[in-house]
Structures are given as structure tokens and as C-alpha cells.
Amino acid sequence: MSYEYILVDPQFKTHIALVRLNRPKELNALNLQLMLEMKQALHDLDEDENVRCIIITGNEQAFAAGADIKQMESRTPIDLLKIDQFETWDQIRKTKKPIIAAVSGFALGGGCELAMTCDMIVASETAKFGQPEIKIGIMPGAGGTQRLTRAVGKALAMEMVLTGKFISAEEALRSGLINKVVPEEVYLDEAVKLAKEVCQMSPVATRLAKESVNKAFESGLQEGLFFERKNFYMCFSSNDQKEGMKAFVEKRIPDFKGN
Ligand code: HXC
């Protein structure tokens, strides 16, 4: 399937798909159609048996500079209610396969929120993260106040959300927002390296583990522990569990099939 605002390569590398935001002149501002395309692409990649990990990226200058301000400018609350764009975001969040954001340049507003919706973030040294909505008279709407606060803590989240200040990749790493910072020339290669590691694992266990870590953000401890335990038991119904443990005992590399 071809899209207008994203480029999708389901076979970028073995088992790794790449989704590239492709509105370079607008710094990859997230208009409604782009987000619908993203939802469709992630849905299709989730169904694709060959894909075990997905990388979302932009270009060197921008991952995404936020939701499209020009498209939002004249909206009323009722317009927003009818458009219901967050249904799209909710579907993206429900992607079962692991997603790595490879971020260079601006990751602002909805762009920062999209990166945080991913499971891990690899950034180039030039990346800048921020929730500058306050400067245009609004506030984050796609999970920014929740995910940023959980990731970096109240002090920095409050400062970023209330002043709109950007933080560098180094500061994002120090504060726990992202996984790695590397030179700009290799940020995508580094994301691929991380994706390759993920792809070597059992796809069944990976799915259950991702779901369980995410549960930590959505539930109290007791409910989270119960959920984790259920998924742990479920791992033992897979051939991958038998293969993984057998391979350990036989001192060889496991051959995971995803069943
Ligand atoms: C629409 C945008 C845009 C955006 C940049 N552009 N960001 N268009 N929506 N969010 C466009 C500019 O209008 C311009 O187009 C072109 O991209 C290049 O941008 P410049 O401003 O000329 O570049 P520069 O001077 O380098 O400044 C970069 C920047 C600045 C600091 C990133 O563009 C900026 O502040 N952008 C807005 C950031 C922001 O407020 N994001 C939050 C949006 S609200 P033209 O045609 O003029 O050349 C949000 C809410 C999410 O995200 C809610 C949930 C969905």
C-alpha cells in the first residue's frame, strides 16, 4: 500500500520494518491524514508474520515538530470531539510488536508524544525533545503530561510543560526519557542494531513482555503483578519457550519461530 505522508518498508532488514514520516518541508508536522496512515501501516505490520520489530523515524532535521498547527488553528472543541483523533493514537498505542523511535532533530509536542508512545527511543546528538504547546496557548493532548511525567519525573516534566523548554538528547538520556544517544550519522543504524537484538528473541515472549511492561503504566501494583504472572504462565504454552530452554541446556543459539 502506498501512502502520501509516510514511507513504509516492511522488509527494511530481516524481520525489521521501517516507517518514515515524510513531510520534510513542514518538519514532519503530524496532520490528521498522516496519523491515519500511521495507524493503518502499524496495523498491517502487526499482522505481517515476517515483521518482528518496527522502527519509526523522520529525517535528520526533524522526527516531528508536533501536530499540524495550521490544520488545528480554527478548530472548535466540537470539531475536535467529532474528529476524535485520539482514537487513532489509541490504536497506535495498541500495536503488539515492539516499536523503536529513531529520533533526530525536533521531537516536539505531538512528535515527542509519538516518540514516547514507542517502546524505546534511540536519538541522534542533535535531537531536541519538548512539549512547547503552552507557547501557542494549549497543552499536550496525546499523552504528553502523563508519559513525560512518568518517564522524567514531576520536576522536569512540569518545567517542560509549563515553559515549553526543549531538552537536548543528552539531558533526555540522563532523565530517563530515551535509551541511547549516538552521532547523527549512525542514529538509524543504532536503532537497527537494537531492533536486531529484539528480533533474536521469541516473538511470543516479546509480545507478552511488552504488554506487561506497558501494564506498569496503566495499573496499580497488585493488578500489574497479576497481569505479569498470567503472561508469564502463557509463555510456557509456546514452542519458543521449549526451544529457548532446550537450546540453553544444549549450549546452542535458540531458533525461535514465534509459536
Ligand atoms: C505546522 C509546522 C509545524 C507544526 C513547523 N512547521 N512546525 N507547520 N505545524 N507543528 C512548518 C513551519 O510553519 C514552516 O513552514 C516549516 O515547517 C519550517 O519551520 P520553521 O519554523 O520555519 O523552522 P525553524 O525556524 O527551524 O523552527 C523550527 C521549530 C518551529 C522550532 C520546530 O517550526 C516551531 O516552533 N514549530 C512548532 C512547534 C510546536 O509548537 N509544536 C507543538 C504543536 S501542538 P512554512 O510554510 O512557514 O515555511 C501539538 C499538540 C499535540 O503538537 C496534540 C495531540 C495531537
Q: Has 62 been annotated as catalytic?
A: no
Cα-based distances in Å from 257 to 133, 150, 174: 44, 34, 37
CATH number, span 203-249:
1.10.12
Res 1: pLDDT = 73
The Cα–Cα gap between 82 and 69 comes to: 18
Choose the residue to mutate in 27, 28, 131 for probing ligand 1, maximizing ligand atoms within 8 Å of C-beta.
27
Question: What is the residue with the minimal CA distance to atom 30 of ligand 1?
Answer: 65
Report pLDDT for 224.
Answer: 83
Q: Whose CA is nearest to atom 7 of ligand 1?
A: 65
- Residue 113 known to be catalytic: yes
Q: Is 133 a catalytic residue?
A: yes
List, for the chain, all residue ranges whose pLDDT scores fall below the cut of 70.
Answer: none
Q: Is the CB of 133 under 6 A from ligand 1?
A: yes
Q: Under CATH, domain 6-199 is a member of which superfamily?
A: 2-enoyl-CoA Hydratase; Chain A, domain 1 (3.90.226.10)
pLDDT for 229 equals: 85
In the annotation, is 67 catalytic? yes
In short, whether 132's Cβ falls inside 6 Å of ligand 1 is yes
How many C-beta neighbours within 10 Å does residue 245 have? 12
pTM here is: 0.95
Catalytic residue (one of 17, 67, 169, 191): 67
Q: Under a CB-based contact definition with an 8 Å cutoff, are residues 110 and 30 in contact?
A: yes
Q: Which of 133, 142, 169, 190 is catalytic?
A: 133
Q: Are 101 and 120 in contact (CB under 8 A)?
A: yes
Q: Where in the chain is the domain with CATH 3.90.226.10?
A: 6-199
